[in-house]
């Protein structure tokens, strides 16, 4: 009888310990907001403004350094939330305007403005940008272009010709200040993703989006960032989000929420984690003076 009692007590103790252990080790997430893949993990705040390294952006031509700094920036997304907004003049009145990839202004001035201070361009968008040089490369005086891509493609002696093409752009359009993101800075962007989401970017088959690069660069360069056209992270989790194009300039292109959700959930191949990225942006908003307009949140 006594032996049986001891065994039962021992089992209860072991089970209790196991429960305590597993709940504490599985409890590291702070901001679990979704049924999606990632949570925002517990971490000490990082000052992104001081996190910048020297020589993070390498000039494509000559030896200029990236010295852009603005008190106020408008980060204009490529989303069709901007269509019909009539925010163009407000955007143009902002000290600096930031755009991404091959998002045009011609024909959309009333909604997205016409000025481009900085354009952040993905390696995969270089060809689309070069196809319309008068729109993207030869429009305004002194636009800064920052090109990002896998470090093995983005260095002077890289094979494959992408760097050479960017270099030719830099030579042909002397009004432009063209930079590529340095390899060590690319690593920092990966480290930041891991720090903020708890996931290793490569092992979790994720690609950072141009939006991620652009947001971090905007925080670095601007005292205040107003983001135009970025819906809040929960937008696409609602039951029936309105169908709308992913890009304002591709009315027949893919649907925004389908693109976001498809990428977020995809496990095969490499994908952007747009919604996870937005969860992180929402956390950064208070830390770094970021506000969201159209829609506002």
Ligand X SMILES: *[C@@H]1O[C@H](CO)[C@@H](O)[C@H](O)[C@H]1NC(C)=O
Under the rule (CB under 6 A), what is the footprint of ligand X? 63, 71-72, 133, 138, 172-173, 223-224, 289
Minimum distance of ligand X from residue 96's CB (angstroms):
12
Beta strands per DSSP E along the chain: 57-59, 70-76, 96-100, 118-122, 144-148, 177-181, 206-207, 222-228, 271-272, 290-293
178 vs 266: CA distance, rounded Å: 34
Nearer to ligand X, 36 or 173 (CB): 173
Instruction: Show the DSSP H helices in 198-237 as ranges.
Output: 210-221
Minimum distance of ligand X from residue 134's CB (angstroms):
7
CA atoms within 13 A on the CB side of 177: 15
Residue nearest to ligand X (CB): 224
Nearer to ligand X, 6 or 172 (CB): 172
Minimum distance of ligand X from residue 121's CB (angstroms):
18
Minimum distance of ligand X from residue 147's CB (angstroms):
18
Nearer to ligand X, 186 or 221 (CB): 221
Are the CB atoms for 231 and 296 separated by under 8 Å?
Answer: no
Nearer to ligand X, 9 or 291 (CB): 291
**Helices 274-287/210-221 angle, 10° precision:** 10
Minimum distance of ligand X from residue 127's CB (angstroms):
17
Residue 1 three-state SS: coil
Sequence-distant (6+) residues with CB within 8 A of 231 are: 79, 81, 256, 295, 297
Nearer to ligand X, 208 or 216 (CB): 216
Minimum distance of ligand X from residue 133's CB (angstroms):
6
Nearer to ligand X, 23 or 141 (CB): 141
């Amino acid at each position: 009888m006594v032996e049986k009692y001891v065994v039962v007590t021992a089992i209860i103790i072991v089970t209790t310990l196991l429960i305590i252990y597993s709940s504490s080790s599985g409890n590291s997430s702070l901001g679990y907001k979704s049924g999606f893949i990632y949570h925002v993990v517990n971490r000490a705040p990082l000052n992104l403004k001081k996190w910048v390294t020297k020589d993070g952006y390498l000039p494509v031509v000559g030896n200029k350094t990236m010295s852009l700094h603005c008190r106020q920036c408008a980060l204009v997304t490529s989303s069709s939330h901007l269509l019909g907004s009539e925010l163009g003049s407000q955007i143009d009145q902002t000290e600096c305007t930031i755009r991404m990839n091959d998002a045009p202004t011609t024909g959309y001035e009333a909604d997205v403005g016409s000025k481009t201070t900085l354009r952040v361009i993905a390696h995969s968008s270089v060809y689309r940008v070069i196809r319309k040089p008068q729109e993207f490369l030869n429009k305004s005086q002194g636009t800064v272009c920052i090109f990002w891509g896998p470090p093995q493609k983005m260095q002077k002696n890289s094979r494959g010709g992408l760097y050479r093409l960017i270099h030719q752009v830099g030579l042909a359009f002397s009004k432009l200040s063209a930079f590529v993101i340095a390899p060590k800075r690319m690593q920092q962007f990966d480290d930041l993703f891991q720090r903020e989401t708890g996931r290793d970017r490569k092992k979790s088959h994720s690609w950072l989006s141009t939006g991620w690069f652009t947001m971090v660069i905007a925080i670095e360069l601007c005292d205040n960032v107003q983001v135009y056209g970025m819906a809040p992270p929960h937008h696409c989790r609602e039951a029936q989000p309105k169908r709308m194009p992913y890009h304002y300039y591709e009315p027949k292109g893919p649907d925004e929420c389908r693109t976001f959700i498809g990428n977020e959930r995809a496990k095969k191949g490499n994908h952007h984690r747009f919604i996870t990225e937005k969860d992180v942006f929402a956390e950064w908003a208070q830390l770094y003076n970021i506000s969201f307009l159209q829609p506002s949140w």
